[in-house]
Amino acid sequence: MPVKRVGVIGLGNMGVGMAANLIRAGHEVTVYNRSRAKVDALVAEGARPADRVAEACTGDVVLTMLADDDAVAGLAFGDEGIIASTAPDTVHISSSTISVGLAKHLTEAHAAAGRGFVSAPVFGRPEAAASAALFVVAAGPAECVDLAMPAFAAIGQRTFVISEDPPAANLKLSGNFLIGSVIESLGEAMALVDRGGVDKHQYLDTSTLFSAPVYRTYGALIAGGQFEPAGFAAPLGHKDIGLVLAAAEELRVPLPIASLLRDRFLRLLAGGGDHLDWSAVGGLAARDAAASDHSA
């Protein structure tokens, strides 16, 4: 793969590993982050620092890995934003998990400005980002996706190119809905067996019905009650379930389990869970069961 000049904007739990792997793959990487300390850490690994968004927008591609719709819109639009700052040949890759509405808005705004845009959200937690093991779901014009491919190869183990229309990559949201459903149901099943006197780790080992990584990863976190530090913070999980429900509302698709999950996230956050991993939703059923000891 040819060396590319890559800008990375957003060095949170995910972006920091993605940028490091782009550097390791031999690309020339320029990094921007709202808070400067994270930039300095990557400069030590060989990145060039950007003091302003615009300085990260002049390479072959600029990859954004920001928290949510507000963060992406805040840096993409406006006189000093990404769209106004990219060179004509620079392709913007948005890897954040964002709303369908914003994906459409970004698609239209890039097209109106004559700029390339690829929506490429990812599956995988920070450990996968750090080890270049993400799954990338990419959608955008073929020539833009082709330009972005070396960057995808550096951050992930596999890239699925699903459409020429960027908002199609929002199928990622339905994946997070499925993971959230697994977290809740695993939490309920483990609260039950724990109450019945079975060791939760042993239960996981003997529960051979489900060997998929999502059960193994989240089962271990829930069984061990390891919800800190947050790899995927609970407010971001709450955000994603909200985005799923917004898409369902628009398309008039009832999603009763997603509605339930929204309330479970609200319960977690109302109880002070902002700093926890989203898998802490899987600890709620055990807390409810313990609470029932005092209510009899």
Catalytic member of 4, 38, 172, 200: 172
Q: Determine the Cα–Cα distance for residues 255 and 221; give it in Å rounded to an integer.
A: 26
User: From the CB of 80, what's the least distance to ligand NAP, in Å?
Assistant: 13
Footprint on residues 119-148 left by ligand NAP (CB under 6 A): 122, 125-126
**CB 290 → ligand NAP: shortest distance, Å?**
28
Residue 95 C-beta: closest distance to ligand NAP, Å: 7
> Which one, 173 or 191, has the nearer CB to ligand NAP?
173
- C-alpha to C-alpha distance for 31 and 200, rounded to whole angstroms: 42
* Residue whose tokens read 């109106």: 112
Give me the residue whose beta carbon is nearest to ligand NAP: 12
As a whole number of angstroms, the distance between CA 70 and CA 104 comes to 15
Residues in contact with ligand NAP, shown as a per-residue x/- string from 23 to 52 under the rule CB under 6 A:
----------xxx--x--------------
How many Å separate Cα 233 from the centre of its chain?
10
Residues 229 and 237: their CA atoms lie apart, in Å, by: 15
Closest CA to 284 of 252, 245, 237: 237
| Alpha-helical regions (H) of the chain | 15-24, 37-43, 69-76, 82-85, 100-113, 126-130, 142-155, 171-195, 200-206, 213-224, 234-251, 256-270, 284-295
How far apart are CB 199 and ligand NAP at their closest, in Å? 28
Q: For residues 31 and 191, which CB has a smaller minimum distance to ligand NAP in the complex?
A: 31
Does 239 qualify as catalytic in the annotation? no
Residues that bind ligand NAP (CB under 6 A): 10-15, 33-35, 38, 65-68, 70-71, 74-75, 96-97, 122, 125-126, 231-233, 236, 240
Residues forming the active site: 172
